[in-house]
């Protein structure tokens, strides 16, 4: 890229509606900032696409000029796949439109939309898409990896609710992918990540949710953690699909419903969610309280949009992050013991271990129905290393890796693709399992030269 003549770049810019940022331009450093502050790359061109035509021009230019190419939606991916060094970034952040048809219960979502954009528009109609748990996450990246959150037990994963999508492939052509149109491509983008093209528009099925739901936290001290976690494990085995309870082990943040002496101490927080009324959820909540003696509780009626933003302060951009993840079909006593041992040794106050409960409707499909294959998983466990100072890199990364190794004998041997860090390319087979060979074949068809390789890459020559 550094040897490319200025007139060639100028001719490319003339084909676009959106601006192009280069090193030294105002806003360049802001544009290359992403959620994980450990990732520091300097693209030669950041193309802020104004529409699909800009994406087509950008794909063609990158391909014809042999440029490394990355695609940025929300920029939230832990591995930093939104950026490449000395190449081109297709930045979709200006393409955040969300259109809702409440009668058909459908939403059209731009490739740069965040979860907050989708929730804001759909909730105005009392509807929702099953997406994630952090409102600043990009809807595109989350969906392309599978996408699970509070609604997944009731309505499946994000990919299970994808009706169709516009995809710009490596040859610069637009495709509408759905069950009827290009079904192989449609199958591949439902969990296969950004390996097959740039998805500029998603069409989702919607479900009645909210605007008020019942949600909140029940917090137990670490001294009760073993009993709480074992009872929680048995409790979720019989939990109805219209409720979800996640477990988070960390040091207590200064939440206003916790006494000051609890702040900074080790806790187990059970995050409770249901679209039902507080009265309907009361029996479940009573069971959860009985797991131990809570040191704090805040559960009640709240707007669904507010609950989707509840964890945003703990996941704000600008911190350094390193994750390790395992899937579990069930938590054994030995697995719980490993979790508790490492949760009791978090290297910074921002680190945590969480167990995202899946199951329910998310497991109602066969593994081969979508590229996302993990239809027997009860928990996706994420070891979330998070810190501020680079001087803490080694101790946090070592803690996460040691925990990962200790938990491996008790795990399912599979992993959620969106939780893989940039150094885990060898786990691609764990992410796709029996679907990997079919994904390679589709990659050979749509991207034989591996233009879209800045991701957890499915190589066409594998």
The pLDDT confidence band at residue 462, using thresholds 50, 70 and 90, is: confident
Q: State both tokens at 175.
A: 């495709």
* pLDDT score for 171: 97
The predicted-structure confidence for 341-386, as pLDDT tens digits, reads as follows: 999 999 999 999 999 999 999 999 999 999 999 999 999 999 999 9
* pLDDT score for 3: 60
Q: DSSP letter string over 235-266?
A: HHTT--TT-EEEEEEEEPP--TTS-GGGTTSE
The predicted-structure confidence for 271-322, as pLDDT tens digits, reads as follows: 999 999 999 999 999 999 999 999 999 999 999 999 999 999 989 999 999 9
pLDDT above 80 for 2: no
pTM summary value: 0.95
* pLDDT score for 255: 94
**Where do the domains of the chain lie?**
6-91, 98-209, 212-419
Q: What percent of the chain has pLDDT over 70?
A: 99
Task: Average the pLDDT over 7-35 and give the result.
Answer: 94
The predicted-structure confidence for 133-181, as pLDDT tens digits, reads as follows: 999 999 999 999 999 999 999 999 999 999 999 999 999 999 999 999 9
Report the CATH number of the 98-209 domain: 3.30.465.10
Task: Average the pLDDT over 421-428 and give the result.
Answer: 91
* pLDDT score for 4: 67
d(CA 21, CA 45): 6
Report the CATH number of the 212-419 domain: 3.40.462.20
CATH architecture of the domain with residue range 6-91: 2-Layer Sandwich (3.30)
* pLDDT score for 1: 55
Burial class, 433, CB count within 10 angstroms (exposed 0-12 / middle 13-18 / buried 19+): middle
* pLDDT score for 6: 83
pLDDT above 70 for 81: yes
The pLDDT confidence band at residue 5, using thresholds 50, 70 and 90, is: confident
């Amino acid at each position: 890229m550094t040897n490319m003549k200025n007139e060639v770049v100028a001719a490319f810019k003339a084909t676009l509606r959106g601006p192009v940022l280069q090193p030294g331009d105002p806003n360049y450093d802001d544009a290359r900032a992403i959620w994980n502050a450990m990732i520091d790359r300097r693209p030669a061109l950041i193309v802020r696409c104004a529409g699909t035509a800009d994406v087509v021009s950008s794909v063609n230019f990158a391909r014809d000029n042999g440029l490394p190419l990355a695609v940025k939606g929300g920029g939230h991916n832990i591995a930093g796949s939104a950026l490449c060094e000395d190449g081109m970034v297709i930045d979709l952040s200006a393409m955040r439109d969300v259109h809702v048809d409440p009668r058909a219960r459908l939403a059209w979502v731009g490739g740069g939309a965040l979860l907050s954009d989708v929730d804001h528009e759909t909730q105005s109609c009392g509807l929702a898409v099953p997406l994630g748990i952090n409102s600043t996450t990009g809807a595109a990246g989350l969906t392309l990896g599978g996408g699970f959150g509070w609604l997944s037990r009731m309505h499946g994963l994000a990919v299970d609710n994808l009706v169709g999508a516009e995809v710009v492939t490596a040859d610069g052509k637009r495709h509408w992918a759905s069950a009827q149109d290009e079904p192989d491509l449609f199958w591949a983008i439902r969990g296969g990540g950004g390996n097959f093209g740039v998805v500029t528009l998603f069409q989702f099925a919607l479900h009645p949710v909210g605007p008020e739901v019942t949600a909140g936290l029940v917090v137990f001290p670490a001294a009760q953690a073993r009993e709480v976690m074992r009872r929680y494990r048995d409790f979720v085995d019989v939990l109805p699909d219209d409720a979800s309870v996640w477990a988070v082990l960390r040091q207590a943040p200064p939440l206003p419903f916790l006494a000051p002496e609890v702040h900074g101490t080790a806790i187990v927080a059970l995050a409770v969610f249901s679209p039902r009324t507080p009265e309907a959820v009361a029996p479940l909540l009573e069971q959860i309280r009985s797991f131990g003696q809570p040191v704090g509780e805040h559960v009640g009626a709240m707007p669904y949009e507010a609950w989707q933003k509840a964890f945003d302060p703990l996941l704000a951009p600008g911190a350094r992050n390193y994750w390790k993840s395992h899937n579990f079909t069930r938590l054994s006593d030995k697995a719980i013991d490993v979790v508790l041992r490492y949760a009791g040794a978090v290297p910074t106050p921002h680190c945590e271990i969480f167990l995202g409960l899946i199951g329910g409707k998310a497991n109602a499909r066969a593994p081969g129905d979508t590229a996302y294959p993990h239809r027997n998983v009860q928990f996706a466990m994420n070891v979330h290393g998070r810190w501020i100072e680079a001087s803490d890199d080694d101790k946090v990364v070592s803690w996460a890796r040691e925990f990962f190794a200790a938990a491996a004998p008790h795990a399912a041997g599979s992993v959620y693709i969106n939780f893989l860090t940039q150094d885990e390319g060898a786990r691609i087979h764990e992410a796709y399992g029996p679907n990997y060979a079919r994904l390679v074949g589709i990659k050979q068809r749509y991207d034989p030269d591996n233009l879209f390789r800045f991701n957890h890459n499915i190589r066409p020559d594998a």
